[in-house]
């Protein structure tokens, strides 16, 4: 039985203008298993964010095949893709993307509001997930009243609240100092130990190796693959990030 949640077969991406053709990805074949913590590493401009956008159904490949939970993405309508993004994928962004005039509680609740989840269930889910990320005592604060590390914890809670099949993290420590970055990586490690499937893009080798498996991109191609700390510490509920 195929346990992969994501499967890419020879996926490529070409950006075209009237005069220029730019190949961002070439021949990417990759699987992400359920419950796996995968990092995608490589230098700036190598195609990491393009690949994550395709995985998150924010963009489409120009060649190859993408299967999400066993279903061909190419066959999906725009509405079906949006529904998968809303219900099955949680996004964690480098810039947090919190709404400044909403409280922590309201920011985390927002994805459930779009789903028209009943209010009582929304309140329960939001408070449960804020407790998990250590932000329950800040639910009435606004983003401007939080540190960068606290804002990213809220962003993680927002990504988790809908109980997605996978968390996609795009440079989740990119705007944080090493202390807060390490704390966020510890949190992702704990979530993985509790069963979360995570796919993370990073250019920082310290954080890439925290994942269970790391693939390396260079000039739009997969050039290497290896195990990370999570693979060597099975069963741990979190682990210390190399500083």
Q: Is the per-residue pLDDT at 33 higher than 50? A: yes
State residue 228's pLDDT score: 62
Residues 6+ apart with CB under 8 A from 119: none
Backbone angles phi, psi at 166, to 5 degrees: -150, 145
Beta strands in 93-170 (DSSP E): 166-170
For residue 209, the model assigns a pLDDT of 80
Give the C-alpha separation, 190 to 199, whole Å: 14
137-148 tens-digit pLDDT:
999 999 999 999
Neighbours of 78 (CB within 10 A): 8
- The 10 Å Cβ neighbour count of residue 72 is 11
CA distance 169 to 90: 8
pLDDT at 206: 81
pLDDT in tens, 151-206: 999 999 999 999 999 999 999 999 999 899 999 999 999 999 999 999 999 988 88
The answer to whether the beta carbons of residues 172 and 141 sit under 8 Å apart is no
User: How does DSSP classify residue 240?
Assistant: P
Q: In what order do the strands lie in the sheet with 4-16?
A: 21-33, 4-16, 63-68, 71-72
Contact 30, 8 (CB under 8 A): yes
pLDDT of residue 243: 43
Q: What is the pLDDT of residue 230?
A: 56
pLDDT tens, position by position, 213-243 = 999 999 999 998 877 655 545 444 343 444 4
Residue 208: per-residue pLDDT? 84
| CA-CA-CA-CA torsion sign (166, 172, 178, 180) | negative
Q: What is the rounded average pLDDT of the residues 40-55?
A: 93
3-state class percentages of the chain: helix first, strand second, coil last, to nearest 5: 35, 25, 35
Domains and CATH numbers, the chain: 4-232 (3.40.50.300)
Tell me, what's the pLDDT at 223?
Answer: 92
For 83-128, the pLDDT digits (tens) are 999 999 999 999 999 999 999 999 999 999 988 899 999 999 999 9
In this structure, are residues 92 and 156 in contact, taking their beta carbons and an 8 Å threshold? yes
What was the pLDDT predicted at 234? 44
């Amino acid at each position: 039985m195929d346990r992969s949640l994501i499967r890419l077969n020879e996926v490529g991406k070409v950006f075209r203008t009237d005069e220029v053709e730019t190949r961002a990805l070439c021949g990417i074949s990759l699987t992400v298993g359920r419950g796996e913590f995968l990092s995608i590493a490589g230098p700036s401009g190598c195609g990491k964010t393009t690949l994550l956008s395709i995985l998150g159904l924010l963009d489409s490949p120009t060649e190859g095949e993408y299967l999400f939970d066993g279903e061909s993405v190419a066959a999906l309508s725009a509405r079906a893709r949006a529904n998968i993004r809303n219900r099955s994928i949680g996004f964690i962004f480098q810039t947090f993307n919190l709404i400044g005039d909403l409280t922590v509680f309201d920011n985390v609740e927002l994805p459930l509001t779009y789903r028209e989840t009943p209010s009582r269930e929304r309140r329960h889910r939001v408070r449960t997930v804020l407790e998990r990320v250590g932000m329950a005592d800040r639910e009435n604060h606004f983003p401007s009243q939080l540190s960068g590390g606290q804002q990213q914890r809220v962003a993680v809670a927002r990504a988790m609240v809908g109980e997605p099949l996978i968390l996609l993290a795009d440079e989740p420590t990119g705007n944080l100092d090493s202390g807060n970055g390490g704390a966020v990586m510890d949190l992702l490690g704990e979530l993985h130990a509790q069963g979360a499937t995570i796919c993370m893009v990073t250019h920082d080798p310290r954080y890439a190796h925290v994942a269970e498996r790391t693939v390396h991109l260079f000039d739009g191609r997969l050039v290497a693959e290896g195990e990370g700390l999570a693979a060597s510490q099975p069963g741990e509920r979190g682990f210390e990030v190399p500083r």
